[in-house]
Amino acid sequence: MADIQNLESLQTPGAVFFIFGATGDLARRKLFPAIYSLYREGKLAEDFAVIGVARRPRTPEEFRDDVHRSIQEFCRYKVEDTAHWTRFAEHFSYKSLDINNIDGYVELRELTESVESRFGIPGNRMFYLALAPELFGSVSFNLQKGGMLSSGGWHRLVIEKPFGYDLLSAQKLNEELNQVFKEEEIYRIDHYLGKEMVQNIEVIRFANAFFEPLWNNKHISNIQITLSETVGVEERGGYYDHSGALRDMGQNHMLQMLTMIAMEPPSRLYPEDIRDEKVKVLRSLRPYATPLEVKENVVRGQYTEGESMGKHLPGYRQEDKVDPNSNTETYFAAKVFVDNFRWAGVPFYIRTGKRLPVKTTEVVVEFKQMPTNVYLGQKHTLEPNLLVIRVNPMEGIYIKINAKKPGSESAIEPLAMEFCQSCQVGINSPEAYERLIYDAANGDSTYFTRWDEVATAWAFVDRIAAAWAQNPGDISTYPAGSWGPEEAAELLAKDGFHWWPVNGQEEDNVIWISRG
């Protein structure tokens, strides 16, 4: 394993990065731009190579043109210097190959060995599978059979979500992968774990003496996690209609964020120590015992036609490649409990959905009210204190406190003290995929999901999915461009809470003090 204490100063070790699915959407929008950003920042050593693999024929020049276009469109750095571009692009090769056909792997091995000898790469190979999950098993088996795993260096498999459709299919997939790769060689991507502010949750919690003593059920009344999107299903209707919001966002990104908020401090910052703490949280999630409990605690919804920013939006059932009678949820909200000493009795409210009014990822930690309100006589109700962690698109944190209105005798007003990281750091903030590719190349698995995390998350989610499957038509609707079904507000109202506004849509009465 790399010396993870010194990662910030490391260049990646010499390696070949294989991108299986190199003609696909993920490679174009995320992977090529991430590799280019790492190169621009000097984080990739010169002894690297990228081999793109997919069925479509491409000459090396055509492939490099694809990469160039993707960078110009999606990367935070643009290509400006031709000589610099040529030096970067010469590291890229392409192999047209049907993953299921073993014959092509002989040529792939020959190409790999010639590239390794040209750039002096010591046999380290990282296989990034930007492919449909049905192909994961076949490709890993054929990599072994085709002699791609017998070079002298390390071999790592990076795989995209979804990791299975439920616990059973995930177990089957994992068994297939384990026939070829050891657990420590498998890097399961959850790109939310690569986001700056998701990683910052750990620092905010474990590097600030005034949060940790309050971070428990004695002082926190509830926690809200929102992952809202304005987009619909775009071109991914075929995949999404089979998946739905619970599997697409809930099983992975939402529960991973919850673990970062709820985990105990690890004794050391080694990957396995952190992952041990995260899996303990997942094991402590209170399972819904009956379909009735699911109904009472989990809201599901599907968007109908609506409007956003003056634009008419179609309903989900009218989207491309979606069944016109589909009951797939495009929204869910849930009340979740973490049954351990720290969190007993504190509800975690989580929600995600497509076609909501704003794109945002935010965590709101709401603190308990003061034991008594000494200002009640002066007719002041006190707002609860909040800590808000903004993950996306705004990055930063703010705390909301009550303060005396300057100049008045007794008026109290809520005051938000904000650090806006995205305002300060802006364009230099690394994209999630940059960080994750960099970490995988350096052998740091901290921000990848371990098998027991994936399995435990599926076990929790499967109960919800099974209850829904008993009554598929029992789904609420919400107009596209709204905040989801009304039942989601009732979920909190029953407990005396409400969803706090997100993404800068704060209440008018708050005074802002910002740095950034």
Ligand X SMILES: O=C1O[C@H](COP(=O)(O)O)[C@@H](O)[C@H](O)[C@H]1O
Catalytic residue annotation: 253
Nearer residue to ligand NDP within complex by CB, 45 or 135: 135
Task: Give the H or E element holding residue 25.
Answer: helix 25-26
Contacting range for ligand NDP; rule: CB under 6 A; set: 96-104, 141-149, 322-330, 395-403: 96-104
Q: For 1-62, where are the E strands, in sequence order?
A: 15-20, 48-54
Per the annotation, does 161 bind a ligand? Answer: yes
Binding string, residues 359-378; x marks residues near ligand X by CB under 6 A: --x-----------------
Q: Are 298 and 334 in contact (CB under 8 A)?
A: yes
Helix (H, G, I), strand (E, B) or coil at 238: helix
CB of 60 to ligand NDP, least distance (A): 16
160 binds ligand NDP (CB under 6 A): yes
Per the annotation, does 320 bind a ligand? Answer: no
How many CA atoms does the CB half-sphere of 305 hold within 13 Å?
7
3-state helix, strand, coil in the chain (%, to 5): 40, 20, 40
- The item of ligand NDP, ligand X, none sharing an interface with residue 481, based on CB under 5 to 8 Å by kind, is none
Per the annotation, does 159 bind a ligand? Answer: no
What the block records as the tokens of 194 is 């690569």
Residue 133's nearest CA partner among 173, 184, 180 is: 173
* Helix axes of 432-441 and 32-40: crossing angle, nearest 10 degrees: 70
Q: Are 419 and 516 in contact (CB under 8 A)?
A: yes
Residue 201's nearest CA partner among 417, 468, 39, 387 is: 387
Distances (CA, A) of 27 to 23, 30, 87, 280, 437: 7, 6, 20, 34, 12
Nearer residue to ligand X within complex by CB, 151 or 361: 361
Binding string, residues 211-240; x marks residues near ligand X by CB under 6 A: ------------------x-----------
248 binds ligand X (CB under 6 A): yes
What the block records as the tokens of 493 is 């109202």
125 binds ligand NDP (CB under 6 A): no
Residues 6+ apart with CB under 8 A from 434: 34, 37, 38, 194
Q: How many CB atoms lie within 10 A of CB 176?
A: 15
Nearer residue to ligand X within complex by CB, 229 or 439: 229
392 binds ligand X (CB under 6 A): yes
Nearer residue to ligand NDP within complex by CB, 111 or 131: 131
CB of 392 to ligand X, least distance (A): 6
Binding residue for ligand NDP, selected from 13, 24, 123, 314, defined by CB under 6 A: 24
CB of 178 to ligand X, least distance (A): 24
Nearer residue to ligand NDP within complex by CB, 161 or 335: 161
133 binds ligand NDP (CB under 6 A): yes
Residue nearest to ligand X (CB): 248
Per the annotation, does 272 bind a ligand? Answer: no
Per the annotation, does 508 bind a ligand? Answer: no
Per the annotation, does 404 bind a ligand? Answer: no
Q: How far apart are CA 384 and CA 403, in angstroms?
A: 12
What the block records as the tokens of 235 is 């071109």
Cα-to-chain-centroid distance, residue 116: 33
Contacting range for ligand NDP; rule: CB under 6 A; set: 79-87, 108-116, 158-166, 224-232: 158-166
Per the annotation, does 26 bind a ligand? Answer: yes
Contacting range for ligand NDP; rule: CB under 6 A; set: 106-114, 125-133, 143-151, 211-219: 125-133
How would you class 362 by CB atoms within 10 Å of its CB: exposed for 0-12, middle for 13-18, buried for 19 or more? buried
Task: Give the H or E element holding residue 366.
Answer: strand 360-367
Per the annotation, does 494 bind a ligand? Answer: no
Nearer residue to ligand NDP within complex by CB, 240 or 500: 240
Per the annotation, does 359 bind a ligand? Answer: yes
Q: How far apart are CA 475 and CA 302, in angstroms?
A: 7
Q: How far apart are CA 274 and CA 216, in angstroms?
A: 19
Binding-site size for ligand X (CB under 6 A) equals 5
26 binds ligand NDP (CB under 6 A): yes
User: Which residue numbers belong to the known binding site for substrate?
Assistant: 191, 195, 229, 248, 354, 359
Contacts with ligand X, residue ranges (CB under 6 A): 229, 248-249, 361, 392
- Which residues are annotated binding-site positions for NADP(+)? 21-28, 55, 98-99, 161
In the annotated binding site, the residues are 21-28, 55, 98-99, 161, 191, 195, 229, 248, 354, 359
- Which residues lie near ligand NDP (CB under 6 A)? 21-26, 29, 54-56, 98-100, 130-133, 160-162
